[in-house]
Amino acid sequence: MITMSPLAPYQVFGSVSQASYGMVPLVYLIGAVLMFFTALSYARFSKDFPSAGSIYTYVGKGINPHVGFLAGWIMLSDYILAPALMCLFSGLWLSGLFPDINIKVLAVVFICITGLINIRGIQLNAKVNTFLFIVQIIALFVFIGFAIKFVFIDGLGFGGFSIQPFFQPEHINWKFVATASSMILLGFVGFDGISTLSEEVENPQKVVGKATIIALATTAALFLIQSYMASLAHQGYKDLDPDMAMFDIAKEIGGQYFYVAMIIINVIAVGLAVTLNVQSAVSRVLYSMGRDNMIPGSTFLRKIHPNYKTPINAIILSVIVSVIMILTVDIMTILMLVNFGAVTAFMVLNLSTVIYFYFKKKERGVRGFFFHFLFPFIGFAICAFVWSGFDKTTLIIGFAWLISGAIIGFIKTKGYKESGFEIKNM
């Protein structure tokens, strides 16, 4: 669950507040519903195909290997870029304490540290995650405690419960829903990362699906609670700083020391904890695709460290790409591409669920209709609705990435006449 940082609202609270007229909790509720149907598709596929590779494996088996490769390629645009984005966020926040600090240099340092930890292996990764997760949870509940005192005891902010953070009928419309939902999607990206660790856990057919649903539900609840309390504590949204809104609210309810503490905790959590997991996920996707000889440099990517048994070259490549992105691309461009990759990949996954389980395997009946047709179709439709809200620049860059993947697939399979690989359940 730590792949989706429990403190993720700190990343976008100010921007989402302004776009949603202060209804941030409503936006997170909508996002949770959107992701729930996609999580069901992940859970269903994980039972049949417990293999590292995630979307790449599921779509490859569900539709065909060529579409599976393109789905994995789309996923790469998400997970290769996400570590750079997380580290840039960390640098931005830390510059609030040290204005003269070089944001990009700090981001590069974070990327290199996480790469070294991931090379050491999943056990070290788990220990670091557990510690940082506990720190985030403690910080979250301290924030909620301060907010409760501020609102319900001191009578400040809204001075009590209010429905406004969830419902303002004069402002709700379809454009608002699509725009705001796309902005908070980044906070939910990561629950699917659990499926990429399938080859490293016991009994993945049972564990991975349940873990995916639990991670999404728990994290969504944390997002809702803290965003609602923040909304109650600060009445109004027009004066919020888009980048530092949650930190400013932390200062308002807990003072200067709490403000500084929350910046430091978020920097470590996002720059280390989230980046660790996303980097781990993408390295295993690269390894899986290299193992199946579907991308240039497959021999290089499928190399395993002799001592730590981790995909060392895939991790190194991920670090190199992140460093290049940090030094050459602005944060908003990276953010747009991460969201495009996530939504597009989720659309394909939901479509694959319908095609494979409902039509190919003919697993129908009452339960089959809901879980193999209706629910994934709803997931596909909601993702398509959010996808339609991307701007022209995002679509151009996103499709350019997709076309490059199609060209690679065309070359590797001699015009798609050969399968080119066999997905192996290890």
pLDDT, tens only, 70-87: 888 887 888 789 899 999
CB atoms within 10 A of CB 75: 28
Confidence of residue 51 (pLDDT cuts 50, 70, 90): low
Confidence of residue 192 (pLDDT cuts 50, 70, 90): low
Pick the closest to residue 267 from 69, 93, 38 (CA basis): 93
pLDDT at 153: 97
Cα Rg for the chain, rounded, in angstroms? 21
| Overall average pLDDT of the 134-163 stretch | 96
pLDDT at 121: 79
| Residue 144 clears pLDDT 90, i.e. is over it | yes
| Overall average pLDDT of the 298-305 stretch | 88
Q: Which CATH architecture has domain 9-412?
A: Up-down Bundle (1.20)
| Residue 424 clears pLDDT 50, i.e. is over it | no
Where do the structural domains in the chain lie, given as residue ranges? Answer: 9-412
Minimum mean pLDDT range among 7-16, 34-43, 48-57: 48-57
Mean pLDDT of the chain: 86
CA-CA distance, 198 to 215, in Å (whole number)?
Answer: 15
CA-CA distance, 390 to 24, in Å (whole number)?
Answer: 20
Confidence of residue 426 (pLDDT cuts 50, 70, 90): very low
Pick the closest to residue 303 from 326, 282, 279, 286 (CA basis): 286
pLDDT at 131: 86
High-pLDDT (> 90) share of the chain, %: 39
Minimum mean pLDDT range among 73-87, 224-238, 300-314: 73-87
CA-CA distance, 301 to 290, in Å (whole number)?
Answer: 5
pTM (predicted TM-score): 0.83
pLDDT, tens only, 372-386: 999 999 999 988 888
Confidence of residue 120 (pLDDT cuts 50, 70, 90): confident
Widest distance between CA atoms in the chain: 70
| Overall average pLDDT of the 381-406 stretch | 88
